[in-house]
Structure 1
């Protein structure tokens, strides 16, 4: 019996444009063999850097392309966060970012997340306590792990607070393209006229996870300093991967790949909603309008760590909410790597695991 995993935020092979990537790889080596195979520069593969700058309407000097967005995070934290520095994070937030900040010795300040993004009132309370954060880490679209999206009003409020309290907003936005419904909300980067935002995104969620290409966009002076860190870290990032992404993007295959991912993930998200409502009606969740994840709150008294064990006995995996700073009765379901049929079976088994803990469906 194969394990049904709701644990990993990665698309399954059936929705990756393998043929398009093969074609882009061929074009990369045919059209620019020298640039594709050379060390290159620490700012990344120049044509891709130019394409990203054009997408965001910024000067090319404001862009740095990295080996995945986690590398971009690490560079930014190395530049801005010293031991003891206060950093605002959403509660819950992405566990790897949390780990990275804690390893740097940051004074991590959790601010509760609401259905429409970080609580501005709670943030103001923290800022009023004489806390002077260096950085606020925000995942604005289809947040990992919660799946929530930051409203336009809160984006404006955050920008105002960043200016007032002299901190940088790290707009960590790898899921921005995976919107199922509704209109895109302008990025904080696009509204920043005070040099307060550093933006990161990734091609892992749209092209494929194995491509490991991410990027930063920010004030030119900040990017220049991060370029120095990048040079000392690896001379240059992976030119082959970045050249392939460049060809993939410029050939028009990127748009089709994103549509395929969106169509399939919406069907998978809908399958989770249907199965949860049927099998675990007492579960509370917000229906995400995009992305890879859903945050589920179970009744008070349910221990997700115990449920994790019971689910594992039934060949089902998920990540408990406490790993992200959440409450003991919460969990994250990633629906990106499982088919609707697997989702239906998996949620049914999860309900059975819940009943085995003495929690019956109401």
Structure 2
């Protein structure tokens, strides 16, 4: 899909900071129609409290999508709330938890705020370093949870290989470990071949070692705030009690609108439009980085919103200074230090989902100036 090139003036902020789509690639008209359809078809469901497990037809749709009984599914206000409920259950004070290094900053914040004993494991270009995980487990660590973002990881954009998915499951079975497959980006793949979910590899409905989370924020729109968990029924029942005590029921209007939209005929084309737009933007970002920051290293993702950039080590880069210099030039980035407990001073995350195509090259050009200005 070709987009007319329109460049922002120098005074305009170009943001590579926010992991959200620009409004022009959201099907606003389709969502308006879906909301009306939801109220027309189920006014009682839209206006009532509903149940803590979520809007029942959407819960059933999710269960069918993943090939599990509905008792395995709980629909929440965004996948971050799904994460929070699971962390409340398993990441209790002092509990050992494994996650990737780097990982989503809100994941780190949620785990640390609960007093969990967080063990960060190296993230490689084909996913978490599974033999490093094996070493921790064989060394006596007994984590209650291992958190993994398998597809187009936030912040790095990397994807967990099939071999590593299978190895993680092997380790989970051997050491009775819960794998938290946090997967909000899976359906926005724009190149390469899709890989099976670990939930599927572990038997789907029979899975005992995988809890799966996903979201409609990336495929429908962020403002809809609808996510979900899939897991063993006993665990889902415990989390359902937490959900009841938190809000009685999640947002029925949002969930009913999502369900109506998924049932309509606009969703497939809208999702394809999003993927085409993201593919175009990441291609432009790849070209711009090679042109203006040739010293940087990065891996072009096959989907998702994010790309991780590392500058050469040993040159004294300070990402806090780079971020400030970039902001002074009208460019927003997120420093790598936000996604780590320590380190990351030579790295930053670029989100390309909200940047207009005509602004990508100019944004990276300004960023390159900021990198140069921030040198010691």
Output the TM-score relative to the length of structure 1. Answer: 0.98
Distance 1:85 1:255 in 2: 42
3-state SS of the aligned residue for 1:284? coil
Q: What pairs with 1:154-303 in structure 2 (closer than 5 Å)?
A: 154-193=164-203, 194-300=207-313, 301-303=316-318
Match of 1:47 in 2: 57
SS of the aligned residue for 1:70 comes to: helix
Q: After alignment, is 317-326 or 142-151 more displaced?
A: 317-326
Show the counterpart of 2:116. Answer: 106
Is contact 2:157-2:305 (8 Å) kept? yes
User: How far apart, in 2, do the equivalents of 1:123 and 1:255 lie?
Assistant: 38
Structure 2: unaligned runs, 5 residues or longer: 1-10
- The Cα shift of 1:254 comes to 2.3
Deviates more, 1:332-341 or 1:320-329: 320-329
1:309 and 2:324 aligned: yes
Deviates further, 300-309 or 167-176: 300-309
CA–CA distance in 2 between the matches of 1:52 and 1:204? 15
Give how far 1:99 is off.
0.2
How many pairs align?
359
Moved more, 284-293 or 218-227: 218-227
Residue matched to 1:328: 345
Deviation at residue 357 of structure 1 after TM alignment: 2.6
Task: Look up the SS of the partner of 1:43 in the other structure.
Answer: coil
Moved more, 181-190 or 192-201: 192-201
Indicate which of 137, 145, 149 corresponds to 2:147.
137
SS at match of 2:54: coil
- TM-score, normalization by structure 2: 0.94
CA offsets, 1:16-46, max 9 Å, x none? Answer: 0001001100100000000111000000000
**Partner residue of 2:157?**
147
Measured against aligned partners, the alpha-carbon deviations of 1:59-104 in whole angstroms (never above 9, x if no partner) come to: 1111100000010001111111210000000000000011000000
Superposition RMSD in Å:
1.0
Q: What residue in structure 2 maps to residue 93 of structure 1?
A: 103
SS in 2 for 1:136: strand
| Counterparts of 1:12 and 1:52, CA distance in 2 | 26
The one of 32, 36, 57 aligned to 2:42: 32
Regions of 4+ moved over 4 Å: none
Query: Aligned with 2:142: secondary structure?
Result: coil
For residue 252 of structure 1, report the CA deviation from its aligned partner: 3.1
Query: How much has 1:242 moved relative to structure 2?
Result: 0.2
For 1:316 and 1:58, the matched residues in 2 are separated by: 45
Q: Is the 8 A contact 2:318 2:374 kept in 1?
A: no
